[in-house]
Amino acid sequence: MTPKRRILVSNDDGIHARGLRALAEAVRPLGEVWVVAPERQQSAASHAISIHTPVRLKKHGEREFAVEGTPADAVVMGINVLMRESPPDLVVSGINHGPNLAEDVFYSGTVAAAMEGAILGVPAIAFSLAVYRKFEFTKAARLAQHLTRLALASLPAPWRLLNVNVPRDSDGTFRVTRLGRHSYGNGVVEQTDPRGRQYFWLGTNEYAHVSKAGTDVSTVYEDGVASLTPLMMDLTDAASLPHLRRWTVPASGAIRSSGAATGKGSRSRGTAGVRR
């Protein structure tokens, strides 16, 4: 008999989030579940880790811990501290309260938690419910259980992860997609606070996405079908390598002589200090 699979569940909405509960319950029949999640809401925390402040653990129950820190901190604590005797077979993150489509993956704490798993050598899946209100996790949890079972049977390669987004009216199916493009508008709203001080609010409600078949945004928002996008941590732009390898700089001697010839620089301030 194969040893029981170990699954680390994390998120960015915090340990009390309903989406985390739904995901933990959905994957519980599939292995030994550890919940290690941020103590507080960390949405849009991206991949930050705490290096200037201590990270504290709070035990919430059997194999369940809150981390005073970021989503990536939680996954580090799970893999390198709490489960270090035997690392998890899979990290699952979510279910996020909100979409993580297209460029969202660069800001998302939910995706970052999965990415941290991938970096530490554990395959990972990020799950998000692509709605903004009236969160109902039943359908997303069912698909999460299904995809987690598939992933445990044929684990994704190291340094890779899956990003799953489920629309409200999911029919339970999914499609394999690419990252699309979208925008929340570039507007920054300027306001004055009650004490007369200026402040800014980033992002406006001018949502738009590029409509393109096969992308996560079009699949979720136009077709109403869940998207599964494979991501990898190697962000190298392979297509640009041949072009960039033709770039050159002049020999170092040429740069130095042109700089010395002008004789004008930040040193010409006229102070009577020590000249070299």
Residues that bind Mn ion (CB under 5 A): 12-13, 43, 96
Residue 8's φ and ψ, nearest 5 degrees, are -100, 125
**Distance in Å, CB of 249 to Mn ion, minimum:** 44
The helix/strand/coil state of 110 is helix
**Distance in Å, CB of 108 to Mn ion, minimum:** 7
**Distance in Å, CB of 197 to Mn ion, minimum:** 29
Pick between residue 30 and residue 45 the one whose CB is nearest to Mn ion. Answer: 45
Structure tokens at 216: 């996560």
Residue 21 CB-density burial (10 A; 0-12 exposed, 13-18 middle, 19+ buried): middle
Residues 26/19, Cβ–Cβ less than 8 Å: no
Handedness of CA 97, 134, 225, 217 (dihedral sign): negative
Pick between residue 96 and residue 170 the one whose CB is nearest to Mn ion. Answer: 96
Alpha-carbon gap, residue 49 to 142, rounded angstroms: 31
**Distance in Å, CB of 247 to Mn ion, minimum:** 40
Pick between residue 44 and residue 232 the one whose CB is nearest to Mn ion. Answer: 44
> Which CA distances in Å does 187 have to 113, 181, 202?
28, 17, 7
**Distance in Å, CB of 99 to Mn ion, minimum:** 10
**Distance in Å, CB of 85 to Mn ion, minimum:** 30
Pick between residue 107 and residue 159 the one whose CB is nearest to Mn ion. Answer: 107
Residue nearest to Mn ion (CB): 43
Pick between residue 103 and residue 222 the one whose CB is nearest to Mn ion. Answer: 103
Structure tokens at 165: 């987004």
Kindly provide the residue ranges of all beta strands, DSSP E only, lying in 27-159, ordered along the sequence: 32-38, 56-61, 64-68, 90-97, 124-129
Pick between residue 30 and residue 95 the one whose CB is nearest to Mn ion. Answer: 95
Residues 96/125, Cβ–Cβ less than 8 Å: no
Alpha-carbon gap, residue 96 to 235, rounded angstroms: 24
**Distance in Å, CB of 228 to Mn ion, minimum:** 19
Structure tokens at 230: 């494979």
Pick between residue 12 and residue 216 the one whose CB is nearest to Mn ion. Answer: 12
